[in-house]
Amino acid sequence: MTDRYAVIGNPIEQSKSPLIHTAFAQVTGQDIEYTKLLAPLGGFAAVVDTFRASGGRGMNVTAPFKLDAFAYATHLAPSAQMAGAVNAMKFEGDKVYAENFDGVGLVRDLVHNLNCPVQGRRVLILGAGGATRGALLPLLVEQPAELVIVNRTVAKAQELVELARIHQSGSVPVRGIGYTDLSDQSFDLVLNATSASLAAQLPPLWASVFAPGCLAYDLTYGKGLTPFLQLAKQADVTRLADGVGMLAEQAAEAFAWWRGVRPDTRNVIEQLTVPLI
């Protein structure tokens, strides 16, 4: 019997999840159907209830419903608790299990796909929103030399520093600062976790943050050479990446959680990659 899964969001037409999970099902021999669900604002729970009642087994969750999914879940994984948001759910009877695989997907893309170990590197994250919250613990597990969060509102960055202090078991130095404090600092890995690239804008950054041999990584995907990546390129950074690998890897984590088999992501990444030119 075909098992049903879906991605829920508003808007939802832009989602690549059906393409990705259908490809995963083909290469792993899993019998699933994967669709898109458009939920009205304020109507998340009703749409999920209907999907579950019709036999739905699980869901991916995209904007703007990751907080709704957090509230809807009955069993939150540590990843979801740390992020304060949910991007995958699994339904078993009256239980709703919830995960957030964004951070794990990011780290796997960095380490396995891009051959960029995080351990011992100086890491800078731009932005203190949900994407950074989701990435924080998986990045700290990799034991970077230091992790710096920069944000226009410094207090929000410092809130995440406190969150990291509570949750991390290691001793990675974590700092929260404003953009004006970056003038004399450089980093081995710079991650743009802001939404600036969606509007073709650039965070208030300057080229000196990119250390020699740096990897500049924009969590936004499919936008080509974003203003952030353009700045890195102009600073002679030769290692540029967008978030397409993160997208594929977090999807593979959800697929493995649902189906018990982890698909290879290479073909999906190649299919979705937009040249960074």
Q: pLDDT tens digits, residue range 237-277?
A: 999 999 999 999 999 999 999 999 999 999 999 999 988 87
Residues of the chain within CATH 3.40.50.10860 domain(s) are 3-100
User: What's the whole-number mean pLDDT along residues 61-78?
Assistant: 94
pLDDT of residue 159: 94
For the chain, give the percent of residues with pLDDT over 90.
86
Q: Which CATH architecture has domain 103-244?
A: 3-Layer(aba) Sandwich (3.40)
pLDDT of residue 44: 98
pLDDT of residue 167: 79
Report pTM. 0.94
Q: Which of 16, 36, 66, 156 is catalytic?
A: 66
pLDDT of residue 169: 65
Q: Is 66 a catalytic residue?
A: yes
Q: Is 275 or 3 the better-scoring residue by pLDDT?
A: 3
Q: Does residue 2 have a pLDDT over 90?
A: yes
Query: Cα–Cα distances in Å, from 173 out to 120, 148, 166, 182?
Result: 11, 8, 13, 16
As a dihedral over the C-alpha atoms of residue 121, residue 134, residue 150, residue 106, rounded to 10 degrees, the angle is 40
Q: Band the pLDDT of 198: cuts 50, 70, 90.
A: confident
User: What's the whole-number mean pLDDT along residues 62-70?
Assistant: 92
Mean pLDDT value across the chain: 95
Answer whether 216's CB lies under 8 Å from 229's CB: yes
Answer whether 147's CB lies under 8 Å from 171's CB: no
User: What's the whole-number mean pLDDT along residues 85-107?
Assistant: 96
153-168 per-position pLDDT tens digit: 999 999 999 989 887 7
106-120 per-position pLDDT tens digit: 999 999 999 999 999
Answer whether 110's CB lies under 8 Å from 216's CB: no
Residues of the chain within CATH 3.40.50.720 domain(s) are 103-244
Which residues, including other chains, have CB under 8 Å from residue 230's CB and lie 6 or more apart? 202
Which CATH code for domain 3-100? 3.40.50.10860
User: What's the whole-number mean pLDDT along residues 27-48?
Assistant: 97
